[in-house]
Amino acid sequence: MLDTAPEPVTERRGTPSWRPAVVLGAVLTLLYAVLLLCDLSVPQPVDHSRYMDAARSFPSRPKDPIFDHQYLRIGLTGPTALVMKVFGYSEVTYHAFPVAAALLLFASVYAIGCMLFGRLVGALSAGVLGCVGIVVVAGTELLPDLPATALFTAAVALTIAVREGLLPWRRLWLVVIGVLMGWSYLTREFIVFVWPLVPALLWRRIGRWDWLWGLVPVALTGIGETALNAHLYGDPLARLHAGSGLGDLPSRPEVARTFHNLPLWVYLWRLPQQLGHLAEAPGMLLLLALTLAAGVYVVVRLVRRTSTLPERRVGVFALWLMLLWVPLTLEGGVLNPAHPKLRLQLLRYWYPIFPAFVLGGVAALWVAVRALRPAGRRGALAAGAVVSCVAVATAAFAVVGRPGMPGWAGSDRVRSDALPEFRSWLARSQARTVWVDAKLFRILPIYFVTSTGHRVWRGHMRPMTASARPPSGDYVVVYSVGSDACPRCGDAARAVLPTVPSIWRPVMTSHDRLLHVWQVA
């Protein structure tokens, strides 16, 4: 799609200006690391904690898994298990792999934009994607979607570098690309829908036998996974069978109504509809529309044989987007509204195309303004100004919000330090037994140790239910009632403890007033 040159790239091109781009990318990635580490999200007692449990049992078969598919995503649980060997069941273990993946995604988006359109497009695209609220939160959460996206995006960045002849030892990098693609599959299975983008980029650019260097790691990934599943579960296709039934998992009635038996247009419009709920919706929807419009425009120009190289490069991102949008939309309800295979109301399912339409939208705007303005320095300045305004506005909406829609900077999900404060209190207290709701029960053990895994408390934790109540002298912990720091914790606490007895003695309240500890009188 990029061009029609039939010859393979066999040597590295001269790139005397690569150093400024690398230095800028390194500085931006370092700044993004600081942002993520200063805004670590609160662990959640749902899928997040189950992946921690899966890592704790890896590589053995879990004794009593809640959902099999979470234990089968070894691309996520394997690296987390390695970190857990060093730091235990701790905050570092919970955040390490997601943060590393988020930084890889940021750097890869920058590299793609830089190689195809220049440093400005790369920096703005990475900045916009890195500041999107759900990406900032997901960048520090133990979930598979963003890491799989990061691994694939890194594979795309290396593919473009190989295609453009920017890397020596081409066959070695083809192996790395294959490893990244296989790892992305082990992390999130439907990432394979966007895999065809890599051979499309390399088509007619590498030799016939060079393909094997990338295909062998992918094949070994599949063989290794089937062998492991056959050994542990007696079913070589265990993950395929578990993943194909995601839409049939039990759901509360109010949740089931959001994706079962809906009109066709709802499934077709699902992605822009969910993007519309974000604080940065105006900018994200604009970038999505620009990417789709550019794709249609490039197809018309290709048919007429009048397309330019920058236009074809923008078209690559439209192809990337459609490779995932079509199968996800079909499986998410179009083919069988009564039994959708995927719950596409969850925006994280769409993460693999976020880099595509952010890069595509920024690049399309850049190319369009350059085409409308006079060639030369004035045109470049005009394009840079327009693209920068859109990117900065989108990032600002994401961080600080817009009227009626707060940004992530004001969210308790990334601001709350209540649980670390509780850990400090627990280490100093004489408490031997604490009682919590069933949801907080799943995440609180992370805070019985320091962030690096050293135990600070050796007491007992008990789940509080209607039939199991704390005796006199024990302590009760309530967290996140009425807050988005941990909504499930707040709801569970309110259900099991609608009112606090007046004779209970308050002994600790966090600075943000989201966590309270009482001693039972």
Both 401 and 439 in a single domain? no
Two tokens, residue 492 = 């569970």
Both 135 and 256 in a single domain? yes
Out of 410, 445, 474, a domain closes at 410
Total of domains in the chain: 2
Per the structure, the complete domain to which residue 271 belongs is given by 18-410
* CA angle 341–319–398, rounded 5-degree value: 75
pLDDT digits (tens, 9 = 90+) for 56-77: 988 887 776 555 667 788 999 9
Q: Residue 453: left (phi > 0), alpha (psi -120 to 50), or beta?
A: left
- Give 320's pLDDT tier (boundaries 50, 70, 90): very high
Rounded to whole angstroms, how far apart are CA atoms 14 and 247? 51
Asked whether residue 283 is domain-assigned, the answer is yes
Asked whether residue 7 is domain-assigned, the answer is no
Rounded to whole angstroms, how far apart are CA atoms 298 and 360? 12
pLDDT given at position 254:
66
pLDDT digits (tens, 9 = 90+) for 155-210: 999 999 999 988 888 899 999 999 999 999 999 988 999 999 999 999 888 888 88
Both 48 and 197 in a single domain? yes
Both 276 and 330 in a single domain? yes
Asked whether residue 74 is domain-assigned, the answer is yes
pLDDT given at position 16:
52
Rounded to whole angstroms, how far apart are CA atoms 363 and 340? 34
As a dihedral over the C-alpha atoms of residue 108, residue 180, residue 320, residue 2, rounded to 10 degrees, the angle is 80
Asked whether residue 104 is domain-assigned, the answer is yes
Both 178 and 61 in a single domain? yes
Of all residues in the chain, the percent with pLDDT exceeding 70 is 92
Bridge-partner residues for 463, per DSSP? 436
| H or E segment to which residue 117 belongs | helix 91-117
Asked whether residue 10 is domain-assigned, the answer is no
Locate all alpha helices (DSSP H) within 39-66, ordered by sequence. Answer: 47-57
Asked whether residue 60 is domain-assigned, the answer is yes
pLDDT given at position 258:
73
Give the contacts of 152 (CB within 8 A, at least 6 positions apart): 180, 181, 184, 191, 194, 195, 352
Distances in Å between the alpha carbon of 276 and those of 272, 285, 345? 6, 7, 12
Dihedral sign for Cα 428, 470, 509, 91, please.
positive
Rounded to whole angstroms, how far apart are CA atoms 357 and 338? 30
* CA angle 255–258–264, rounded 5-degree value: 155
As a dihedral over the C-alpha atoms of residue 474, residue 478, residue 479, residue 480, rounded to 10 degrees, the angle is 180
pLDDT given at position 249:
60
Asked whether residue 159 is domain-assigned, the answer is yes
pLDDT digits (tens, 9 = 90+) for 87-143: 999 999 999 999 999 999 999 999 999 999 999 999 999 999 999 999 999 889 999
Rounded to whole angstroms, how far apart are CA atoms 50 and 68? 10
pLDDT given at position 445:
94
Both 122 and 176 in a single domain? yes
- Give 335's pLDDT tier (boundaries 50, 70, 90): confident
Asked whether residue 78 is domain-assigned, the answer is yes
Out of 410, 441, 463, a domain closes at 410
Distances in Å between the alpha carbon of 62 and those of 57, 150, 356, 377, 493? 6, 27, 36, 62, 28
What count of Cα atoms within 13 Å lies in the side-chain half-sphere of residue 333? 20
Whole-model pTM: value is 0.92
Which is nearest to 146 in space by CA: 9, 63, 41? Answer: 41
Find the distance separating the first CA and the last CA of the chain, reported in whole Å. 73
Rounded to whole angstroms, how far apart are CA atoms 333 and 342? 8
Out of 353, 381, 410, a domain closes at 410
Rounded to whole angstroms, how far apart are CA atoms 365 and 294? 9
Backbone angles phi, psi at 454, to 5 degrees: -90, 125
Both 202 and 237 in a single domain? yes
Both 107 and 203 in a single domain? yes
pLDDT digits (tens, 9 = 90+) for 369-389: 988 876 667 777 888 899 999
Both 360 and 428 in a single domain? no
Backbone angles phi, psi at 378, to 5 degrees: -65, -40
Rounded to whole angstroms, how far apart are CA atoms 477 and 437? 8
Both 153 and 175 in a single domain? yes
Both 377 and 428 in a single domain? no
pLDDT digits (tens, 9 = 90+) for 6-15: 444 444 444 4
Output the DSSP codes for 187-241: H-GGGGGGTTHHHHHHTTTS-TTHHHHHHHHHHHHHHHHHHHHHHHHS-TTHHHH
Both 329 and 213 in a single domain? yes
pLDDT given at position 4:
42
Three-state DSSP class for residue 252: coil
pLDDT digits (tens, 9 = 90+) for 280-295: 999 999 999 999 999 9
